Amino acid sequence: MGTVDVANKDVTASLAEKKPKVVFVLGGPGSGKGTQCANIVEHFHYTHLSAGDLLRAEIKSGSENGTMIQNMIKEGKIVPSEVTIKLLQKAMLESGNDKFLIDGFPRNEENRAAFEAVTKIEPEFVLFFNCPEEEMERRLLSRNQGREDDNIETIRKRFKVFLESSLPVIEYYRAKGKVQEIDAAKPVGEVFEAVKVVFTPKAEKVAA
Ligand SMILES: Nc1ncnc2c1ncn2[C@@H]1O[C@H](COP(=O)(O)OP(=O)(O)O)[C@@H](O)[C@H]1O
Ligand SMILES: Nc1ccn([C@@H]2O[C@H](COP(=O)(O)OP(=O)(O)O)[C@@H](O)[C@H]2O)c(=O)n1
């Protein structure tokens, strides 16, 4: 326990030194966060860190937290921040980059407050993919990635958690003027056109 804590302090300190630029990518399950992050990485050279992907990799790695994480994901519940933040910090440090899209995090007030307290990192902005529930449901039911949580019962639970726990985080950042909202119900290409505007530096927009 002691060594883990010391190691994590080192990670936190090394990360703070780098002063990384972070964009939180939020939106309901199936709103297209992962799809658009892949496009952003290609065009704007960010490193994409999906909290869900990191948690699923942790299950696969046979970690001591694996069973707990698997049960939480099956129930659509949010894994305790301590676990997710450690995975995010490690991935940020290992990437060697200083620009990150943190996708699917923070998903509740606990995630948000803990990340801020531990890392002292404030996001540049929050990219919010707003999409109607019927459309997200259609997309999740045809995602076909073999995910244990893409069944109608768990999907309904995830929608409830999104409304009750994740939307308040988006509203928190909206009150700080940090939310860039995108209409995510449109086709992938049109959504990316709107995303590009957000990531293009102001001077280039004037010149274009
Ligand atoms: N704009 C879109 N229109 C239609 N289908 C989409 C769109 N964006 C993503 N998808 C599809 O919907 C599913 C969910 O998208 P994904 O990027 O995995 O969402 P999230 O990361 O928010 O859960 C995927 O199968 C993806 O190919
Ligand atoms: N910050 C996070 C992100 C995801 N998760 C878990 O991972 C699941 C899948 O999240 P995801 O971001 O990969 O997928 P979507 O629900 O957005 O499609 C969530 O329903 C949670 O159970 C979490 O506990 N904490």
CATH 2.70.98.60 fits 12-200, yes or no: no
Q: Predicted ipTM?
A: 0.99
Query: Does 5 have pLDDT greater than 70?
Result: no
Query: Does 2 have pLDDT greater than 80?
Result: no
Q: What is the pLDDT of residues 71-129, one digit of tens each?
A: 999 999 999 999 999 999 999 999 999 999 999 999 999 999 999 999 999 999 999 99
Please tell me the predicted confidence (pLDDT) of residue 6.
66
Please tell me the predicted confidence (pLDDT) of residue 201.
84
Residues 6 or more apart whose CB falls under 8 angstroms from that of 136 comprise: 28, 29, 30, 31, 159
From CA 118, how far away is CA 8, in angstroms rounded?
10
**pLDDT (average), residues 58-63:** 97
Query: Does 158 have pLDDT greater than 90?
Result: yes
Percent of the chain past pLDDT 70, that is, above it, reads 95
CA of 73 to the centre of ligand 1 (A): 19
Q: State the DSSP H helix or E strand holding residue 180, giving kind and residue range, or none if neither.
A: strand 179-183
> Which 3 state secondary structure label does DSSP give 178?
coil
Q: Rounded to two decimals, what is the model's pTM?
A: 0.95
> Which 3 state secondary structure label does DSSP give 126?
strand
- Comparing 191 with 205, the larger pLDDT belongs to 191
Ligand 1 pocket, residue 127 CB under 6 Å: no
Residues 6 or more apart whose CB falls under 8 angstroms from that of 6 comprise: none
Q: State the DSSP H helix or E strand holding residue 22, giving kind and residue range, or none if neither.
A: strand 21-27
CA of 104 to the centre of ligand 2 (A): 6
Atom of ligand 1 nearest to the CA of 129: 22
Query: Does 154 have pLDDT greater than 70?
Result: yes
Ligand 2 pocket, residue 73 CB under 6 Å: yes
What are residue 102's DSSP bridge partners? 24, 49
CA of 201 to the centre of ligand 2 (A): 30
CA of 97 to the centre of ligand 1 (A): 26
In testing the pocket of ligand 1, which one of 26, 35, 143 has its CB within 8 Å of the most ligand atoms?
Answer: 35
CA atoms within 13 A on the CB side of 31: 23
From CA 36, how far away is CA 195, in angstroms rounded?
8
Going by alpha carbons, the residue nearest to atom 22 of ligand 2 is 73
Atom of ligand 2 nearest to the CA of 140: 18
